[in-house]
Amino acid sequence: MISKSNLIKGLVQFAESEMLPALEGWQYWIAVGALVVIGEGGERFADKFIDNKMVKAFGLVSETGLIDIDKAYNAIKKGSRKHKLKPIALDMGAFGKYTLRAEDLDALYKQLSALPSESDPDGDDDVS
């Protein structure tokens, strides 16, 4: 379970490490600026995610607003054992295009999991 602010922090880190290198020219510059705006307005962007009907239907958000990234990741990985995940072509408007692959899911989950959880807010693995 991670907080809304850590969700946005992890998504921004993922975009910086995995998506930005795929962009060029003015699209790169716009994306760099957009990531700053998203990072600074994290709660607002996270609220849009939490309000998504699909997210609510799958029960990915607790009553206290924490996001269950383990539940989402494990469900997708379990399903992918039977059904191979196909790449998703994302048209990001002014940011250009990006193809999301199964490896990206693993990289995103790894980055989100490395952030402090609600049960370990300082990230030192000492939950006592």
Asked if the structure places residue 123 within a domain, the reply is: no
Asked if the structure places residue 126 within a domain, the reply is: no
Asked if the structure places residue 119 within a domain, the reply is: no
Determine the Cα angle at 115 with ends 109 and 117, to 5°.
Answer: 100
Asked if the structure places residue 78 within a domain, the reply is: yes
N residues, the chain = 128
Tally the domains of the chain: 1
Asked if the structure places residue 81 within a domain, the reply is: yes
Asked if the structure places residue 121 within a domain, the reply is: no
Which band of pLDDT confidence, cut at 50, 70 and 90, is reported for residue 91?
Answer: confident
CA distances from 32 to 4, 21, 116, 124 (A): 21, 11, 25, 30
Torsion from C-alpha of 17, 18, 21, 25, nearest 10 degrees: -100
Which band of pLDDT confidence, cut at 50, 70 and 90, is reported for residue 127?
Answer: very low
pLDDT at 22: 85
Phi, psi for 38 (deg, rounded to 5): -65, -45
| Pair 78, 72: CB distance under 8 Å | no
Domain range for 45: 4-114
Q: What share of the chain is helix, strand, coil (3-state, %, to 5)?
A: 60, 10, 30
Average pLDDT over residues 16-35: 88
Where are any strands of DSSP class E within the chain?
A: 88-91, 97-100
**Interval 32-82: pLDDT, tens:** 898 888 888 877 878 887 888 888 888 888 888 889 999 989 988 888 888
pTM of the model: 0.76
Instruction: Provide the percentage of residues in the chain whose pLDDT is more than 70.
Output: 91
Asked if the structure places residue 77 within a domain, the reply is: yes
Asked if the structure places residue 122 within a domain, the reply is: no
What value does the mean pLDDT of the chain take? 82
Which band of pLDDT confidence, cut at 50, 70 and 90, is reported for residue 126?
Answer: very low
